[in-house]
Amino acid sequence: MSARVHRVITKRPVPGLTLVELMMVIVLLAIAAMLAVPMLGSSAVSKVQAAAQALTSDLEYARNLAMTHGRIYAVCFDLNEPHSYKIQDPAGQVIEHPVNKGPYLVRFAGPLDGVRFAQVNIAGTCQVRFDHTGRPYDGSGQGLEASGLITLQIGRFSETVEIEPETGFIRIR
């Protein structure tokens, strides 16, 4: 008797992706791209919103200092590059920052790079002063008759900080 040997021929899998797997990868990449593209545009929006929030807080801080100490404190805006502002005491000296213990000078650099003042209009000046009641004055010492406006901008995105006359109430509009 002769023994027959049967050989089983099997196909070895070819390395690579099937069409279904390839389509799934393309769909996942498309979904990831749709999620990422809006985030790229919102970076500028986030920067200008953060700068407006920081400015609002610093204006409130200067106002609170004036009311607490019963003296005039000022916020002075520098429209030269990089755009910045500082808080000054009644003698015109830059006050000490309560956290970092350096001069209270805020520059739009680092995380806020690119933010600039599109407009600073405190009754035609670039300074706002607060008295012991929190009332705002312009750089020449005259009480505000209209709202003081500071517009921050990066690219096509902007935020405006408003200082109301008489009350000194500060808000982002």
- Dump pLDDT digits (tens) for 103-158: 999 998 888 888 999 999 999 999 999 999 999 999 999 999 999 999 999 999 99
Q: Which domains does the chain have, with CATH numbers?
A: 44-172 (3.55.40.10)
In 14-156, DSSP assigns E strands to 73-78, 84-88, 105-107, 116-121, 127-130, 136-137, 148-154
Give the pLDDT of residue 5: 65
Report CA torsion sign: 6, 7, 9, 10: positive
DSSP character at residue 47: H
Look up the pTM and report it. 0.76
Give the pLDDT of residue 108: 86
Q: Is 95 exposed, middle or buried (0-12, 13-18, 19+ CB in 10 A)?
A: middle
Encoded tokens for 126: 């670039």
pLDDT at 38 over 60: no
Q: Which of 9-18, 57-66, 72-81 has the lowest mean pLDDT?
A: 9-18
Share above pLDDT 70 across residues of the chain, in percent, rounded to a whole number: 83
Q: Taking a C-beta distance cutoff of 8 angstroms, is the pair 54, 164 a contact?
A: no
d(CA 21, CA 18): 5
Q: Mean pLDDT, to the nearest integer, of 59-83?
A: 93
Q: Mean pLDDT, to the nearest integer, of 16-25?
A: 72
- Going across the sheet that includes 105-107, the strands are 105-107, 84-88, 73-78, 127-130, 136-137
Q: Which of 10-19, 31-40, 131-140 has the lowest mean pLDDT?
A: 31-40
